[in-house]
Amino acid sequence: MNTVQPEKALPEAVETPSRFRNPIGKFVVTRNSRCTGCGLCASLCPHGVHIKPEGYAKPLPPRSERCVGTACEKCEYYCVARCPNKALSVSFNSTLETMGDYRWTPEMLIAHWHMAETGNLPEVDLEYSLGSSGGGFDKMRFRTPVPSEYIKISDEVIDTSLDLNRRGDERPQKTLSLPCYGGGMSFGSTALNVIVGRARAAKRLNTMTCTGEGGYPPEFLPYAEHVITQVATGLFGVREETIQNAPVVEFKYAQGAKPGLGGHLLGDKVTPEVAAMRETVVGSSLFSPFPFHSVYSVEDHKKHLDWIKEINPRALLSIKVSTPSDADMVAVGSYYAGAHIIHFDGSYGGTGAAPDIAKKNIAMPIEYAIPRIHRFLKAEGVREKVCLIASGGIRNAVDAAKAIALGADGVVIGTADLVALDCIRCGKCESGRGCARGIASTDAELGRMISEEYAEQRIVNMYTAWRKQWCEILRQYGLRSTRELVGRSDLLVNMDYLDEAERAKYKPAPQNKLVI
């Protein structure tokens, strides 16, 4: 532990509207032909739905996504009621029924778009912390806070930092300002501007992003101190210098979304640029084998870590594994093998490229795995020596806080970053030329729909909003840092284990029925 970096000031949120026209909101505001252009609605609405610029005869089309909907009915400025010509109406947006899925509900998506645009938590009545999956984090709540526990401190003095080196070995300390960092997304699976935008955001947020298994584009170099080099089983694009560039090297043994299946990039996405980066054949599918062919036991594992340590004497080492039934053993084994970070990837994660049968059936759900590993490491007396990271279906700030309360030191986020960039969770990441929204695509046209700057600011905004939420959770329970939240599973309740009266005190999870 040579240097402890001081807590860095958090970056500014900058309003960054969606790059698409007609953003989707929970409500639809319509203005019919009876409108005379009196402009009353524009002067009334505090949410900015109605805008009538100087000299315009009529207001602009309503900015429906800003509308708080029926919650406004009782307000004296409720536009529908006040319109002298009854030209306005508000209704639920039926698009929501066709959007998202049971884990990422339409409201959760819309709320994250809002956060990515504004850096604030949404004012519209959106349930963005709970999904409709009927299990996992959706069954879990923070217990009702006791008012006397509340401490009135500002966000600035709350500590959300995360130390990555807790071994106390000769390697440097690295402290992130947020208890989370970005998961691996390869050049190939994801557009270059998206992954570079994530790296730029990571630099501004003083956290990190990860190369995934697709090589190390030179565009990462200005942000190298915030880019994890992933060494995965296919070893695509991994070279000595990419290992030497990185402050943290991540061994990806498996993904929770598809343990035992390795990786697979379909031929369609192997464009000339992707093939060049990975030094493979254009148009040929690329396989990452399931295991490391050089690692079939724990002493091989240690040797593998020793190798990376030899190549890069300052790197911290992270082990990313899925959550097998013996996850606790894997954690202890990794600690003794010399890992600084042990990263468990549970079963809920994965984009469209992970097969459903695997996503839903193989690995242990992360909320089971975390406390089990946390306790096992404690019993072994080494919990304070490792940085325990959880990922796999951690969708929002509250999920992240729950994972930490269950025993993780921090979390890794993948999908939410993409949602910040307008992902609609259509689940077609792998097909054809890739993503219609230009996120998960390296196609010559689709892959350039996003600029680095846009990606950077949207992601910065979303985490800025998340931090606000974490601070509020911490204040409620009298905590001053996310470190104090680690392992506080006493702050959580599971709806299944509450009696009916107790359960009624909590807001039920949304019961979306999707028409997909």
Partner 1 sequence: MPQENNSIIDDLLAARACLPLSGLDETEAAEEGGCGVTGFIASVPVSGRHIMEPSFQMHNRGNGKGGGIAAVGLSAVSLGVAQDVLDSHYLIQVALLDPSLRQAVEAEFITPFLDVHSASEVPHLADFREVKGLEIKPPDVMRYFARVKPAELNRFISENKLGAMDVRKAEDEFISQNSFRLNQKYYSSLVDKKAFVLSHGRDIMILKIVGYAEQVAQYYQLEDFKAHGWIAHQRYPTKGRVWHPGGAHPFIGMDEALVHNGDFANYYAITEYLRQFNIQPQFLTDTEVSVQLFDLWNRTFNYPLEYIIEAMAPTSEYDFDQLLPEKQRIYKHIQSTHLPASPDGPWFFIIARNNPYEHYKQLIGITDTSMLRPQVFALQEGEVQIGLICSEKQAVDSTLESLSREDRRFRPVADKYWNARGGSASDGGAFIFTIRDSGKGDGSKKLVCTNKFGDAVNVPAGQKPFNPPADYDAPVSRNAISQAVRSALSAADNTDFMRYFIHGMAKWNYASVIFLCHELTDIGLSDKARSAAIEILTALNDLRYPTGDKKRSSVLQIIRDALHRLFEGTPDFTTGSVSGYRRLDWFGRGDLRAPSGNEKVLLVNARDFPPEGAECDARFIVSAFQLGWRRFICYGYRGQRFTGCGLGKETDGVRIDVYDSSGDYLASGIDGMEIRVHGNAQDQLGQIMKRGKLVVFGDVGQTLMYGAKGGDVFIMGNAAGRPLINAVGRPKMVINGTCLDFLAESFMAGDPLKGGGFVILNGIEFDEEGKVRELNSPYPGSNLFSLASGGAIYIRDPHGQVVGEQLNGGEIVELSQADWDLIRPYLAENERLFGISIENDLLSVKGQQKPFTEVYRKVQPVKTGAPKPPPVKEKACKPA
Number of CB atoms found within 10 A of residue 181's CB: 27
Which of 219, 225, 472, 484: binder of partner 1 (CB under 8 A)?
219
Q: Which of residues 382-411 bind partner 1 (CB under 8 A)?
A: 382
Find the shortest distance in angstroms from Cβ 450 to partner 1. 8
Stretch that binds partner 1, among 6-14, 39-47, 304-312, 503-511 (CB under 8 A): 304-312
Which of 161, 190, 288, 322: binder of partner 1 (CB under 8 A)?
288
CA dist 151 and 153 (Å) reads 6
**Do 405 and 494 meet the contact criterion of CB atoms below 8 Å apart?**
no
Which of 273, 355, 427, 514: binder of partner 1 (CB under 8 A)?
273
Return the number of the residue (440 or 450) whose C-beta is nearest partner 1.
450
CA dist 500 and 135 (Å) reads 18
Stretch that binds partner 1, among 68-76, 91-99, 328-336, 421-429 (CB under 8 A): 328-336
Stretch that binds partner 1, among 22-30, 266-274, 341-349, 499-507 (CB under 8 A): 266-274
Query: What is the total count of residues that contact partner 1 (CB under 8 A)?
Result: 71
Residue 280: name the closest of 353, 186, 185 by CA: 186
Find the shortest distance in angstroms from Cβ 477 to partner 1. 32
Which of 43, 336, 378, 502: binder of partner 1 (CB under 8 A)?
336
Find the shortest distance in angstroms from Cβ 177 to partner 1. 25
Query: Is residue 309 at the binding interface for partner 1, with CB under 8 A as the rule?
Result: yes
Query: How many residues appear in the chain?
Result: 516
Q: Which of residues 159-188 bind partner 1 (CB under 8 A)?
A: 170
Query: Is residue 224 at the binding interface for partner 1, with CB under 8 A as the rule?
Result: no
Query: Is residue 125 at the binding interface for partner 1, with CB under 8 A as the rule?
Result: no
| Cα R_g (the chain), whole angstroms | 23
Which of 12, 15, 279, 356: binder of partner 1 (CB under 8 A)?
279
Return the number of the residue (257 or 265) whose C-beta is nearest partner 1.
265
**Do 226 and 182 meet the contact criterion of CB atoms below 8 Å apart?**
no
Query: Is residue 516 at the binding interface for partner 1, with CB under 8 A as the rule?
Result: no
Find the shortest distance in angstroms from Cβ 359 to partner 1. 22
Query: Is residue 329 at the binding interface for partner 1, with CB under 8 A as the rule?
Result: yes
Return the number of the residue (122 or 434) whose C-beta is nearest partner 1.
434
| Beta strand residue intervals within 197-315, DSSP E | 209-210, 227-232, 248-252, 263-265, 286-288
Distances (CA, A) of 187 to 76, 137, 430, 433: 52, 30, 13, 14
Return the number of the residue (337 or 341) whose C-beta is nearest partner 1.
337
CA dist 136 and 349 (Å) reads 12
CA dist 81 and 492 (Å) reads 42
Find the shortest distance in angstroms from Cβ 192 to partner 1. 6
Residue 437 CB partners (closer than 8 Å, separation 6+): 421, 422, 423, 424, 449
Read off the tokens for 210.
């990860």
**How would you class 429 by CB atoms within 10 Å of its CB: exposed for 0-12, middle for 13-18, buried for 19 or more?**
buried
Find the shortest distance in angstroms from Cβ 373 to partner 1. 13
Query: Is residue 321 at the binding interface for partner 1, with CB under 8 A as the rule?
Result: no
Find the shortest distance in angstroms from Cβ 290 to partner 1. 11
Residue 44: name the closest of 72, 19, 17, 20 by CA: 72
Read off the tokens for 342.
């042990």
Which of 270, 321, 416, 418: binder of partner 1 (CB under 8 A)?
270
